[in-house]
Amino acid sequence: MSAQHAAPTHDRVLVVDFGAQYAQLIARRVREARVYSEIVPRTMPLAEMLAKRPKGIIFSGGPASVHVDGAPSIDAAVYDAEVPILGICYGAQLIAQQLGGVVERTGGGEYGRTQLTRLGSSVVLSALPEEQQVWMSHGDAISTAPDGFVVTASSPGAPVAALEDRDRAVYGVQFHPEVVHTERGQEVLRAFLFDVCDCRPTWTNTNIIEEAVAEIRAQVGGEKVICGLSGGVDSSVAAALVHRAIGDQLTCVFVDHGLLRLGEAEQVEETFRRQFHMDLVHVKAADRFLEALSDIREPESKRKIIGETFIRVFEEVASDYSDAGYLVQGTLYPDIVESGGADNATIKSHHNVGGLPDDMKFELVEPLRNLFKDEVRAIGEELGLPEEIVWRQPFPGPGLAVRIIGTITPDRIEMLRQADHIVVEEIRRAGLYREIWQSFAVLPGDVHTVGVMGDGRTYENPIIVRAVTSEDAMTADWARLSHDLLERIASRIINEVAGVNRVAYDITSKPPGTIEWE
């Protein structure tokens, strides 16, 4: 599904990015309502936006004040385009300012949960009670609505917390309907999408799959396609989707570097070869990677060596498929939309081919390029991928190599793999696997600690347990695991993993720490 051709049969809503982190969240919420949404930079010419034939346009929030020089804006002709508009936070202030209302610096602003009071009748607030909690985050506030608008809600710090001009179908809300702290936020978005824009809720998993399949077939025709399969969510769903489209024309190459978690390689075999009957090349290259990594302890050197070896191995296998014209990539929508600051909100093409040599000329097939991660997971489930793959926590490409501090040996890999398996198993049993972003074990290979076991002194390795919560890995917090759970993990690791006599829990957030130890 290339961006240009995405979903021609779907109603489309544009989310104009005014530079906060909220644009992606708004786009996701719209899709949760089964309406296709696309994020566009606010610098996109209006004609280009309208050429996408949107049924509605949402202005996102943003960090700027409408009063600063060069504040992000939009061509005011948008208000005459006869496309319904919903402005959120900064977007609402921009509407007010451009149409002749007044936006003032209030001094206090509102940050966090705020009580919203409805005033009179409203189209987009119709499902809401008189009073409710909403999430606010603003310094400026609209004090006077433009002519033609009615004020439909207020809050202690925002006399105009919602406004609308039904004739022009222009709506604004100072609060953030897209965040979960706004109790009935999704209903506001739904009212805009269905009652104002008259959108049809056709963006369903079944439709997404059918259209992706049609598009892949149209792109590759009868040619052969290869796919690097890692066992992670994205490459697995991409492979399953392409396989659904073209069956035996697809060959998946699974480079097993010997640094995977317990049972992971077997799971890839089981799923793709036995369940899906895919043409799967399982390259067992552990020895080659180990050899290349011998004596290496510096994290970036490990990454570089693993990356290079990976490419060499992939290249060797791919050369046997020189008749293949296409390479599958599991690129996701957030990878291609850069939702940066207000003034660098550009869409970049992110071809994450990771250093494949120039003479390997593949055209890319990116069946997930319009999808968010939660959509990818939903599609994976629908395609019949096992829960373990669809919901797998992120795992770094260099695998266990960056979780063994010091040099990498087969014994250390084995020790870490066993300990890691216990961490994950206990987290799963506690029902926490999905809500925790990553949970794993780290082996400081050169560190030995003194302990007692039975009557004897031990001098063995410690294991560090790491579990973090996060939205996107950019920041993370250590997970507040219960003491009972930590105790179970610790005692099982010490009892079951030979060579470990101590367990520590890492309570560092990111920043200042990183999620991985290396």
Residues near ligand XMP (CB under 6 A) are 303, 394, 396-398, 438, 473, 510, 514-516
Handedness of CA 349, 355, 357, 362 (dihedral sign): negative
Q: How far is the CB of 467 from ligand XMP (least distance, A)?
A: 13
Of 81 and 305, nearer to ligand XMP (C-beta) is: 305
178 is known as an active-site residue: yes
Conformation bin of residue 202: beta by default, left when phi > 0, alpha when psi is -120 to 50? alpha
Q: Cα(348)–Cα(359) distance, rounded to whole angstroms?
A: 24
Minimum distance, C-beta of residue 473 to ligand XMP, in the bound complex (Å): 4
Q: Is 240 helix (H, G, I), strand (E, B) or coil?
A: helix
Tell me how far, at minimum, the Cβ of 388 lies from ligand XMP, in Å.
18
Residue 426 structure tokens: 């206990």
Complex with ligand XMP: residue 222 or 511, whichever CB lies closer: 511
Output the DSSP codes for 145-180: PPTT-EEEEEETTEEEEEEEETTTTEEEESS-TTST
Of 38, 110, 164, 178, the catalytic one is: 178
Q: Are 105 and 189 in contact (CB under 8 A)?
A: no
Looking from the CA of 52 toward its CB, the CA atoms found within 13 Å total 27
Cis peptide bond upstream of 334, omega within 30: no
Shortest distance (Å) from residue 89 CB to ligand XMP:
29
3-state class (DSSP) for residue 52: coil
The CB-of-228 to ligand XMP minimum distance in angstroms stands at 13
Nearer CB in complex with ligand XMP: 339/438: 438
Our answer to whether residue 164 is catalytic in this structure is no
CA angle 329, 335, 336 (to 5 degrees): 95
Helix, strand, coil abundance in the chain, percent, nearest 5? 35, 25, 40
483 part of the active site: no
Which amino acid, 386? P
Catalytic residue, chosen from 38, 138, 164, 176, is 176
Quick one: 414 or 516, whose CB is closer to ligand XMP? Answer: 516
Instruction: Return the residue matching tokens 């024309």.
Output: 249
Compare residues 386 and 397 and give the one whose CB is closer to ligand XMP. Answer: 397
Nearer to ligand XMP, 270 or 516 (CB): 516
Structure tokens at 9: 């049969």
CA dist 69 → 72, 248, 308, 360 (Å): 9, 58, 47, 48
Give 33 or 268: the residue with its C-beta nearer to ligand XMP: 268
Question: How far is C-alpha 62 from the chain's CA centre?
Answer: 20
Query: Residue 292 CB, nearest distance to ligand XMP (Å)?
Result: 16
Q: Compute the least distance from the CB of residue 234 to ligand XMP, in Å.
A: 11
Q: Which of 10, 89, 197, 199 is catalytic?
A: 89
CA distance 251 to 273: 11
| Residues 37, 79 contacting (CB under 8 angstroms) | no
Q: Which residues contact 307 (CB under 8 A, 6 or more apart)?
A: 354, 355, 397, 398
Nearer to ligand XMP, 195 or 516 (CB): 516
- Min dist CB 201 to ligand XMP, Å, is 33
Catalytic residues: 89, 176, 178
